[in-house]
Amino acid sequence: PAFTGNFHLLPGRTNMTVSYTLEVADARFCGFCKLLFRWKGSIYKLLYKDFLLFCGVYLFFSLFYRFLLTPRQQDLFERVALYCDHFTNTSFIPVLFVLGFYVTLAFNRWWGQYTSFPLPDNLMMVVSGNVHGADERGRLLRRTLMRYANLSSVLILRSISTRVHKRFPTLEHIVEAGFMTTHELKNFESLHSDFNKYWMPLTWFSNLASRAREEGRELNKYRGKCSLLFHYDWISIPLVYTQVVTLAVYSFFAFCVVGRQFLNPEKGYKDHKLDMYVPVFTLLQFFFYAGWLKVGELIINPFGEDDDDFETNQLIDRNFQVSMLAVDDMYQNLAPIVKDKHWA
Amino acid sequence: PAFTGNFHLLPGRTNMTVSYTLEVADARFCGFCKLLFRWKGSIYKLLYKDFLLFCGVYLFFSLFYRFLLTPRQQDLFERVALYCDHFTNTSFIPVLFVLGFYVTLAFNRWWGQYTSFPLPDNLMMVVSGNVHGADERGRLLRRTLMRYANLSSVLILRSISTRVHKRFPTLEHIVEAGFMTTHELKNFESLHSDFNKYWMPLTWFSNLASRAREEGRELNKYRGKCSLLFHYDWISIPLVYTQVVTLAVYSFFAFCVVGRQFLNPEKGYKDHKLDMYVPVFTLLQFFFYAGWLKVGELIINPFGEDDDDFETNQLIDRNFQVSMLAVDDMYQNLAPIVKDKHWA
Amino acid sequence: PAFTGNFHLLPGRTNMTVSYTLEVADARFCGFCKLLFRWKGSIYKLLYKDFLLFCGVYLFFSLFYRFLLTPRQQDLFERVALYCDHFTNTSFIPVLFVLGFYVTLAFNRWWGQYTSFPLPDNLMMVVSGNVHGADERGRLLRRTLMRYANLSSVLILRSISTRVHKRFPTLEHIVEAGFMTTHELKNFESLHSDFNKYWMPLTWFSNLASRAREEGRELNKYRGKCSLLFHYDWISIPLVYTQVVTLAVYSFFAFCVVGRQFLNPEKGYKDHKLDMYVPVFTLLQFFFYAGWLKVGELIINPFGEDDDDFETNQLIDRNFQVSMLAVDDMYQNLAPIVKDKHWA
Amino acid sequence: PAFTGNFHLLPGRTNMTVSYTLEVADARFCGFCKLLFRWKGSIYKLLYKDFLLFCGVYLFFSLFYRFLLTPRQQDLFERVALYCDHFTNTSFIPVLFVLGFYVTLAFNRWWGQYTSFPLPDNLMMVVSGNVHGADERGRLLRRTLMRYANLSSVLILRSISTRVHKRFPTLEHIVEAGFMTTHELKNFESLHSDFNKYWMPLTWFSNLASRAREEGRELNKYRGKCSLLFHYDWISIPLVYTQVVTLAVYSFFAFCVVGRQFLNPEKGYKDHKLDMYVPVFTLLQFFFYAGWLKVGELIINPFGEDDDDFETNQLIDRNFQVSMLAVDDMYQNLAPIVKDKHWA
Amino acid sequence: PAFTGNFHLLPGRTNMTVSYTLEVADARFCGFCKLLFRWKGSIYKLLYKDFLLFCGVYLFFSLFYRFLLTPRQQDLFERVALYCDHFTNTSFIPVLFVLGFYVTLAFNRWWGQYTSFPLPDNLMMVVSGNVHGADERGRLLRRTLMRYANLSSVLILRSISTRVHKRFPTLEHIVEAGFMTTHELKNFESLHSDFNKYWMPLTWFSNLASRAREEGRELNKYRGKCSLLFHYDWISIPLVYTQVVTLAVYSFFAFCVVGRQFLNPEKGYKDHKLDMYVPVFTLLQFFFYAGWLKVGELIINPFGEDDDDFETNQLIDRNFQVSMLAVDDMYQNLAPIVKDKHWA
């Protein structure tokens, strides 16, 4: 599998998502340089189509202005261009501000969603420490409890992550993957509720371990995270906000396409003394602003299939494997306790 | 009901509020484009009336200037317009800043309010796991406890959400809906307090389950959320702040209506070389600034009836249904525990 | 009393503080308009005196310039005015930035203070659920415990809120109001400490309920809030910061009074082509900047007597009444438990 | 002592640090005015030396330009001044931004440090409520436990606060002050560790109260705060950040000293039509920017000896006195429990 | 060792990382001055290579323009330079904004990572207070438990910190250092998992202390911190964001290299009246912007080997030493309890 625990650089580092923390561990000479030449998860990969479109439209207007217009029409075009330019040059369109505030909000939600990801680690330790018995009944109990916990997170992730939904298009697929038995599926389906039923396996957990205070507490935390994930998905940043930001950026570049044309240097318009054909600067601006907007797009829903999105399927596997190991294989499996090296 | 658990895209996704997270799961080419063409919950729906008003006033001044004034009056008008324009073009009116700071504050309160919504999920698990007995007495006890919890949130929501208040105009409506018995209503009304009594059913809960430590803790958290919701409603962002922001935006556009008129290009005023009749740019600015203000308006009280407001009534139903299911139907209802697929 | 629980719009809404959340529940056409026409807690009420002062000084300089100066002096005045204007027009004085950062800090402290307000609700539920006995001794115990808790918050509020201090100028007033007995007052005064003794009644509480784990925990949270309130009051935003902000705003307007005078249009100074007598725009700016500063002033200490300050006295009454109701009147007072409407 | 509990305005208010919250309790006419005329903890006190230096250098260049240079040299000077001015007038040096972001970070750390101050209040209540016995053994136990807790905070404060370090230059001074016995000192010194040993008295506490769950929990919180304080001190804001901010502000004023000279008005340089000798405006700017930087300096380490720094020594005294009172004098010392005034 | 507990200034201060808090304890005259002259961890050390590169390229273009070009080519160069300058002078490239927002995000993550560092202090107190027995078995048990906890943090740090990885390139090195026995290593390796196995020693801990509620809770917190550290490392700030910021800063300086050349003063270009050869101002700007970016680079991964990075190896040693001391040497080792000085 992709997630081997023996990454080429440091052990335990994984190649999930796009992690580059290690490469910038030291602030060296030209530290972030190398990050500019990565393709996977890069701004280039995200933007190149939009960039080509922008260039195409710019080119169209450029050719249009230079070759298709009569001198009189050119005059009009120039005045329109100057008018547009007037507005793109100054701080009229509040691109920067709205982007700054918007991306900061989106970023906070993004990290909030990541830290809401339900991990079974605490629960498995509590189960391993409190549900005893090395016999089959004990093993069965511990494994079933952890399976319920994992099932719940699969159910919630299925409704918010496109990746997980593709993997488990129907509940039968979940049964097949071993997260659920057919009995449980029947049980699950027999309960009619108009609302998302991801919490059901957690109630089974609670019923199975009904007098265990400590498990109850950890279970509630686990359930709280599932629930928070559900709510993050449900309550988006208000559509209006996203529309305002998008409108600002898109209209800014719409004006740029006309306003940033190189006008005939001979006509002596202010700041139009040079015809460079390629508007290097405007293209850079495109990268900054459209790139920043893409950051927002990317992190507004981290459960999609972008390079930078959370590798939900691998996390599900990791959680299931790890919780089975902890409550079953490792149960009461201790190395002999001997004096340590520093014993004095 | 509208909230079916089987949404057309992903299971468990609901059509409550205006959720568009799924559509932007991947940061694709022109990712936010499609969001621009939505009507429900959109900036257009929120703004079109204000927009028409603004256009009307602009048009009035435009016609007034062009056709009704004598040349001498036109001269004066032009000078006034230039004076106004002077102030709308530069960063005199701190629209951007105050909007940015204000909307960020409002946004934090908005998310704070959402996460303060009292959900019975933890409580119902604790009740289901700690209040035993499959007989009628046990069921009665568990159901009554959860009913009290739900009743409390209905009472608090009734005083802050217009939607919920419309559904339950009087306490009798709550009785009718099955959240309260007539006895309880009498009991509730017999206690005279000058202050909101939403906490009473929670005291009943506490009395009924009086020695249960674990329930007590969860109950306190639940009560804390009811209380926080109450306080969010009670303590608004200081009126002065809202007035400052509103004044800034409104006066900005009041100046625009005059200052952004296209003056006679023949008179050679600076930046007035083109008569475009339609002030495209000013209209866009209207969208950005007024739109951002609308975001503030929208999220300052998310318990109203806007498209983007929380669907409180459906949440009440969900909570009641789910808590009854958890403590009654699902009580001790477990599928047979069998070895899982991965048993080795 | 002012706090009746039956407000004219929604039940349980109170007329404390200046709450306008309900009015903006829906983002309607011209949604914030109506907020502009409120007087109580408004920017006009807060600012009108400062505004009149500013107008007066402006008028003085205006008359001085127009009627009292010789042409030569007018020339000098005009040059000074242009010099001043130069600095008010551009972003020299960082009014916006320092205000934005400062008000945001103040706002966070303000909400922090509000959420630190010690409410007895959790404590009263724990007391009601854990201290048993329907006889006089039981009632006495429960009532005394809650009285101690309320006494502590009264003592701390007395030292930070001017309103509460006016209500209880001496400790005898507290005794008279029934929060303390004369014995307790003696006891309180017999202990000599150089430091605020608000925590004493909480120690009595702890002594009285000495083996109760659950109460202990809630008590510690309650005490923590009292303490936090004390510290918010004690450790202000560093004076230097407030002075920098105030200096920036005040000096800005000091320059405006001269720099924004309408100079003789005939002299052809740049941007001085129109003599409008009333500097509409400068007055608006005064509203924005001075208004924003007032927001800061208002929320820097929410325990004063402004319209928008917390209604501490009513909160004290509410807390005392509600805690007595919960531990005494409502103790074990339950409606008969009957099957609910949805019983199947 | 300075900290009397009977402050002249409100009881329990102390004159530690520079608290001005009470004076601005109401947002009155010219509310922040009076704050401008305070000396203690003021911007004037912090800045006057820097201010005089700046004035001196400005004066030097002014005299130099006016009296010492030949006309030809003056011409050169004027060109250099215009070049410098060019950069101070526009937003070239990002003074505002970096200051805004930096001070906000510093402010958050500052408040974080304050709330990390280890207060024994919760611990003393738990000790008082759980360690019983009115006899000497009981008293001894309770007092020793609280002494250990206080000792730990003294040890940690000694290593981060210059004030506390001056008070207790050696460990013997701590013994003398009664926080430690000579036996304990020996014990403390007998343990060799390369690292700060502030946690040792807390281990003694833990050993002495070894089976007490509730104390253990509170103790861990107390220890956590000591530890957090230590880490706040250890991990400063990266030096680079502070240097960037300092460089920006200092270089800004270095340019101002030359660039803001009044050039000969007769030479007709743009914006140099008036020779006012005193650059009022630049001096104000000095106040704003240098003042804001001073805010940063002030709050970056609140354990020094500035007017606004925390009064650590008085807090140590307060904590020790209060904890001894709570666990000893007040132990089981209750006023007779009688019916309260509102008993019905 | 470097970490002696007897630092020259204050006891317990360590020379780890670059701490300068003490030097700025008081906001004195020219308070931050001295910080400008430090080399270790300074902006100069971080930037000097980039700075020299920038100067080199600038110099190259300068010589190129002055000596190698024909007058006609010079003309073209001048026009290109003016075009570039146009964009670097105005706020076209949003360097400031993106840097401000980006560094703030990075700073929050940085402090978040620091506070997630797993410290064994709480755990060791709980172990010392709950696992009894002064005999060998007791000592063995307590030491082994703490060893497991430390082992887990070593394993996680090995995969995120380059320093720790260099110290322990293989698991054998960990055995050698006494954190693990060979038996345990075998046990560790015998469990096959595709994912990072840092949690295994914590499961051993849990198995060894299987009925201890209090330890379980502290253990879960400890494990939570290990896990959070892992996730901070795994989920970087999206690459796109970092690329946008880097592109903005780098392209800004690329334009500066041409646009900020001193053009021939005789040609009378606007703002080019002075040939100073050294572009002092541009170099300063380089320091501010590139310095701010370096701050971001520095704190984005604090587990590298920069001067300012966390001294992970010393922390590991400290944790191991301190936890052994607490549970072994100091176990039940109490000074005789005697009356304190203030006993009355």
CA distance C255 to chain D (A): 9
Those chains having 3 or more beta-carbon pairs within 8 angstroms of chain A are B, E
Tell me what pLDDT residue A92 has. Answer: 67
Q: Given a cut of 50, is residue A304 above it in pLDDT? A: yes
Quick one: CA dihedral D305, D310, D311, D317, positive or negative? negative
Query: How confident is residue C7, by pLDDT bands cut at 50, 70 and 90?
Result: very low
Which residue has 């007058």 as its token pair? E71
Interchain CB contacts (distance < 8 Å): A and E: 254
Rounded Cα distance between B129 and A203, Å, is: 9
CA distance B13 to chain A (A): 6
Closest-CA residue in chain E for D294? E27
Q: Given a cut of 60, is residue C9 above it in pLDDT? A: no
Chain D neighbors of E128, CB-CB under 8 A: 203, 206-207
Test mutation, A79, A168, A195, chain B, max B CBs within 10 A = A195
In chain A, the N- to C-terminal Cα span, in Å, equals 45
- Model confidence over D22-80: pLDDT tens digits? 676 666 666 677 788 888 878 888 888 888 999 999 999 999 999 999 999 998 898 88
Tell me what pLDDT residue B271 has. Answer: 76
Rounded Cα distance between A49 and B33, Å, is: 14
Tell me what pLDDT residue E234 has. Answer: 81
Test mutation, C7, C102, C111, chain B, max B CBs within 10 A = C111
Q: What is the mean pLDDT of residues A273-277?
A: 81
Rounded Cα distance between E93 and E249, Å, is: 8
Nearest by CB to residue B26, choosing from A97, A211, A305, is A305
Chain D neighbors of C191, CB-CB under 8 A: 325, 329-330
Query: How confident is residue B14, by pLDDT bands cut at 50, 70 and 90?
Result: very low
Closest-CA residue in chain B for C2? B194
Query: Helices D213-234 & E121-130, crossing angle to 10 degrees?
Result: 150
Q: CB of A145 within 8 A of CB of A131?
A: yes
Chain D neighbors of E42, CB-CB under 8 A: 239-240, 243
User: What is chain E's pLDDT, residue by residue, as a tens digit (344 residues)?
Assistant: 223 333 333 334 344 456 676 676 666 666 677 788 888 878 888 888 888 999 999 999 999 999 999 999 998 898 888 888 877 765 667 777 788 888 888 888 888 888 888 888 888 888 887 888 888 888 888 899 999 999 999 999 988 888 899 999 999 999 999 899 999 999 898 888 778 888 889 888 888 876 666 777 888 888 888 888 888 888 888 888 888 888 888 888 888 888 888 888 888 887 787 788 888 888 888 888 888 888 888 888 888 887 778 888 888 888 888 888 888 888 877 888 888 888 87
CA distance E70 to chain A (A): 19
Chain E neighbors of A214, CB-CB under 8 A: 213, 216
Q: Given a cut of 90, is residue C160 above it in pLDDT? A: no
Contact at CB, C293 and D16, closer than 8 angstroms: no
Nearest by CB to residue C50, choosing from D30, D321, D343, is D30
Q: What is the CA radius of gyration of chain D?
A: 28
This prediction's pTM:
0.82
Chain A neighbors of E303, CB-CB under 8 A: 25
Q: CB of A285 within 8 A of CB of A130?
A: no
Query: How confident is residue A230, by pLDDT bands cut at 50, 70 and 90?
Result: confident
Q: Given a cut of 70, is residue D92 above it in pLDDT? A: no
Query: How confident is residue D147, by pLDDT bands cut at 50, 70 and 90?
Result: very high
- Model confidence over A26-35: pLDDT tens digits? 666 666 777 8
Test mutation, A160, A183, A186, A235, chain B, max B CBs within 10 A = A235
Average pLDDT of the residues of chain B: 82
Chain E neighbors of A295, CB-CB under 8 A: 238, 240-241, 244
Chain B neighbors of C310, CB-CB under 8 A: 235
Closest-CA residue in chain D for C195? D5
Count of CB atoms within 10 A of residue A89's CB? Answer: 18
Smallest CA-to-CA distance from E255 within D86, A282, A37 is with A282
More confident residue, B176 or D333: B176
Tell me what pLDDT residue E6 has. Answer: 31
Contact at CB, B239 and C38, closer than 8 angstroms: yes
Query: How confident is residue D12, by pLDDT bands cut at 50, 70 and 90?
Result: very low
Count of CB atoms within 10 A of residue B336's CB? Answer: 8
Is residue C6 helix, strand or coil? strand
Contact at CB, E298 and D243, closer than 8 angstroms: no
Paired with C11 in beta bridges are C6
Tell me what pLDDT residue A256 has. Answer: 87
Q: What is the mean pLDDT of residues A144-166?
A: 90
Q: How many helices (H) and strands (E) does chain B have?
A: 13, 0
Which whole-number Å values give the CA distances from B253 to B89, B95, E325, in the listed order? 11, 10, 70
Q: Given a cut of 90, is residue A281 above it in pLDDT? A: no
Closest-CA residue in chain D for E274? D79
Paired with C6 in beta bridges are C11
- Model confidence over C203-218: pLDDT tens digits? 888 888 766 667 777 8
CA distance A264 to chain E (A): 15
Interchain CB contacts (distance < 8 Å): A and B: 257
Smallest CA-to-CA distance from A253 within A285, A280, A278 is with A285
In chain D, the N- to C-terminal Cα span, in Å, equals 45
Contact at CB, B239 and C42, closer than 8 angstroms: yes
Q: Report the range of poorest mean pLDDT among B7-11, B253-257, D340-344.
A: B7-11
Contact at CB, D24 and C297, closer than 8 angstroms: yes
Query: What's the complex ipTM?
Result: 0.81
Which residue has 């983002």 as its token pair? C27
Test mutation, E32, E110, E111, chain D, max D CBs within 10 A = E32
Nearest by CB to residue A334, choosing from E208, E255, E306, is E208
More confident residue, C54 or B36: C54
Tell me what pLDDT residue A220 has. Answer: 83
Test mutation, B235, B298, B308, chain C, max C CBs within 10 A = B235
Phi, psi of C6 (to 5 degrees): -125, 70
CA distance A297 to chain E (A): 11
Closest-CA residue in chain C for B174? C341
Contact at CB, C22 and B162, closer than 8 angstroms: yes
Contact at CB, C216 and D126, closer than 8 angstroms: yes
Which whole-number Å values give the CA distances from A13 to C217, D303, E161, E162, E239, in the listed order? 42, 40, 11, 12, 17
Query: How confident is residue B9, by pLDDT bands cut at 50, 70 and 90?
Result: very low
List the alpha helices (DSSP H) in B260-337: 280-300, 312-324
List the alpha helices (DSSP H) in chain A: 43-63, 71-89, 95-115, 121-130, 136-160, 162-167, 171-176, 182-190, 200-208, 213-234, 239-259, 280-300, 312-324
Rounded Cα distance between C144 and C204, Å, is: 10
Tell me what pLDDT residue E29 has. Answer: 67
Q: What is the mean pLDDT of residues D102-117?
A: 86
Q: Which two tokens stand for residue C207?
A: 């002594």
Nearest by CB to residue B336, choosing from A183, A224, A245, is A183
Rounded Cα distance between C246 and D37, Å, is: 11
Tell me what pLDDT residue E13 has. Answer: 39
Those chains having 3 or more beta-carbon pairs within 8 angstroms of chain B are A, C
Chain E neighbors of A1, CB-CB under 8 A: 194
Tell me what pLDDT residue B27 has. Answer: 63
Which whole-number Å values give the CA distances from E333 to D152, E58, E187, E215, in the listed order? 17, 68, 35, 21
Smallest CA-to-CA distance from C272 within C262, C282, C283 is with C262
Chain D neighbors of E122, CB-CB under 8 A: 220, 223-224
Test mutation, B33, B131, B282, B330, chain A, max A CBs within 10 A = B330
Nearest by CB to residue B295, choosing from A200, A244, A255, is A244
Q: What percent of chain D has pLDDT over 90?
A: 14
Count of CB atoms within 10 A of residue B32's CB? Answer: 23
Count of CB atoms within 10 A of residue D266's CB? Answer: 9
Exposed e or buried b per residue across E205-243, where buried means at least 16 C-beta atoms within 10 angstroms of its C-beta: bbbbbeebebbbbbbbebbebbbbbbebbbbbbbbbbbb
Rounded Cα distance between B175 and B180, Å, is: 5
Rounded Cα distance between B276 and B256, Å, is: 16
Query: How confident is residue D97, by pLDDT bands cut at 50, 70 and 90?
Result: confident
Quick one: CA dihedral E292, E295, E301, E307, positive or negative? positive
